[in-house]
Amino acid sequence: MSQLNNSDELILVGKIGASYGIKGWFKVNAFTEVPEGIFEYSPWFVTNNGQQHQVKVTDWRRHNKGLIAKFEGVDTRNDAEAWLHAEISVRADQLPELADDEFYWRDLKGMQVVTDKGYDLGKVSGLMETGSNDVLVVDANAKDAFGQTERLIPYIQDDVILSVSKEENTITVDWDPGF
């Protein structure tokens, strides 16, 4: 097991579910866009009971509508159950490079959101995935006229999201704040 450098940023990509069978397999809940894509990353850094472990996946496969996997050295059902609810992360530098107009959620967090008319809506505190499109969660600088301190703005490029500038750390939106 190797240690991470302090500069290595970890990205959460999944979580371990229930054990499967008697030979050390377990279910994997992948947070990657394509679920099977989680297995393209190696090594995994798994946080279990407050401890971080670098692990090697020795085998995986689709099972019904989900995924199952096996770690090196995990050979029994009891071994697999010890990993229940553990979080799976990978180093940020393992993620593929994106095109200039594409962004990882982590890139958008902390960006300032302004309207095309210059109104400062606040900073992105998170994102939510919905069935149709992602949604920016924006913490407002102050309560708005309706007493809200948070805004939900759909991430629809070229319609609502007009531009994203990494250099200026801003997202410009066509959005009426409602007051």
Task: Quote the domain boundaries for residue 140.
Answer: 105-173
Contact 116, 158 (CB under 8 A): no
27: its two tokens: 């279910």
CA 129 to chain CA centroid, Å, is 10
pLDDT value at 85 more than 50: yes
2: its two tokens: 């190797």
Q: What angle do CA 152, 155, 10 make, to 5 degrees?
A: 90
Q: What is the mean pLDDT of residues 127-152?
A: 79
**1: in domain:** no
Q: What angle do CA 156, 177, 122 make, to 5 degrees?
A: 80
| pLDDT (tens digit per residue) in 1-60 | 344 444 478 988 999 999 999 999 999 999 888 899 999 999 999 999 889 999 999 999
Cis peptide bond prior to 43, omega within 30° of 0:
yes
Are 31 and 90 contained in the same domain?
yes
| pLDDT (tens digit per residue) in 65-79 | 899 999 999 999 999
Lookup result for tokens 């319609």: 159
**14: in domain:** yes
Q: Specify the 3-state DSSP secondary structure of 19.
A: strand
Q: What is the mean pLDDT of residues 126-140?
A: 86
**59: in domain:** yes
pTM summary value: 0.67
